[in-house]
Amino acid sequence: MATTQGSLRTTGLDWQWRTRDFIVSAALAVPLGLVWSFAYGFVWLTARGIQPLLGDVFDGFYIVGGVLVGYVIRRPGAALLGELLAAAIEIPFTGFGAVVLWLGLVQGLGVEIVFLATRYRRFDLPIMLLAGAIGALVAVVGYSYPAEGWLGLAAGVQIVRLVLKLVGGAILAGLVGKLIGDALVQTGVLNNFPIGRGREI
């Protein structure tokens, strides 16, 4: 890692994970994983309790961790790591316990797949929306069907819920994630990360 000649400021792909990438991924995951639930989870969790379908759109928020970290770090595994970290961080603080790890895994995989498909080169709005949606999709396949028993629901209801989840993922994770990422780039705090590289400081 030592370098004495020239600058390491690459404009191409920079695959090597630095310590700060890990720590900052965790740092980003903390507010995303927790602040939502502290401040507002109360509200929509109660809503879910009364009528779960309402929650389907809001579930997208849980995917924003993976999307944002993937957007900022732009390396293989970033999105998955972001989701897993957000899930792991949540565990000691909420009553949901270990099940969130599985959710984090499947959601993270979904987002990661989309970024992987573009070889981690494309991070424009359509890809971000897709990433959020696919994250939700994989969660539906990996959790909602097996564990939440969607198969027993009326076909129409299944479709509605699926659409709600996909839309929620695309908007609340994909769009919001991109907006947050862009806003952070403007603040200048991300200048040392792949998302901020290539900018004039």
Partner 1 sequence: MRAFVWYAEDSFLHRLNPLTKLAACLLAAIVVSTAGEPVTPAIVILLALASTRGLGKVPVSMLCRTLAFGLLASLGVFWTYTVFYGGSGEPWLYGATMAARLLAILSSSAMFVLTTDPSQFVRSLIHQARVSPRIAYSLFAAYRFVPLLQVEFETIRAAHQMRGGVGGGGPFGQIREIVGYAIPLLASAVRKGERVALAMESRGFGALSAQQRTYFRVTTINQADLWFGVGCLLAAATLIALRRIQ
Partner 2 sequence: MSFSVPCGGSLLVLGPSGCGKSTLGLCLNGAIPHCIEGDLAGRVRIDGRDTRAGSMAEMAQRVGVVFQDPEAQFCMLTLEEEVAFGLENLAVPRAEMDRRIDEALAWVGLKDRRRDQIERLSGGQKQRLAVACVLAQRPRVLVFDEPTAQLDPEGVAEVVTLLEQLRTQARHTLVIVEHRLDDVMPLVDEVLVLDQTGEMVALGPPRQILHDRGEWLSSAGVWVPQVSELATSLAAAGLRLDPFPLTVAEAVIALRPHIEQLEVPPAQCPADALAARRDGEPFLRVSDLSFRYPNAARQTLTEVSVTHASGEFAAIVGGNGAGKSTLARHMVRILRPPPGRVHLQGADLTDLNAAQAARQIGYVFQYPEHQFVGRSVVDDVAFGLIRSGATESAAHQTALVMLEEFGLARLARAHPFSLSHGEQRRLSVAAMLALGQPGLILDEPTFGQDRRNVQLVLAKLAALARGGRAIVAITHDMRLVAEHADRAVAMSDGRIIFDGPPLDLFSDAAVLQQARLRPPPLAEVGQRLGLTRRWLRIGEVLEALRPAAHRVGRVAS
Instruction: Summarize as ranges the residues that interact with partner 1 (CB under 8 A).
Output: 17-20, 22-32, 34-36, 38-40, 45-46, 48-53, 81, 85, 88-89, 91-99, 101-102, 146-149, 152-158, 176, 179-180, 183-184, 187, 189-190, 192
| 183 near partner 2, rule: CB under 8 A | yes
From residue 101, give the alpha-carbon distance in Å to each of 56, 63, 94, 107, 144: 19, 12, 12, 10, 14
Query: For residues 104 and 94, what is the distance between their CA atoms, to the nearest angstrom?
Result: 14
From residue 13, give the alpha-carbon distance in Å to each of 8, 31, 80: 12, 28, 19
| 19 near partner 2, rule: CB under 8 A | yes
Query: For residues 84 and 86, what is the distance between their CA atoms, to the nearest angstrom?
Result: 5
User: Given the rule CB under 8 A, which of 7-15, 57-65, 81-89, 168-176 is the region that contacts partner 2?
Assistant: 7-15
- CA angle 171/189/90 to nearest 5° reads 55
| 35 near partner 2, rule: CB under 8 A | no
| 187 near partner 2, rule: CB under 8 A | yes
CB of 36 to partner 1, least distance (A): 8
Amino acid residing at 165: K
Cβ atoms 118, 127 nearer than 8 A: yes
CB of 89 to partner 2, least distance (A): 13
User: Given the rule CB under 8 A, which of 114-122, 143-151, 157-165, 185-193 is the region that contacts partner 2?
Assistant: 185-193
The two tokens of residue 134 are: 């696919």
| 3 near partner 2, rule: CB under 8 A | yes
| 11 near partner 2, rule: CB under 8 A | no
Which residues here bind partner 2, judged by CB under 8 A?
Answer: 1-9, 18-19, 23, 183, 186-189
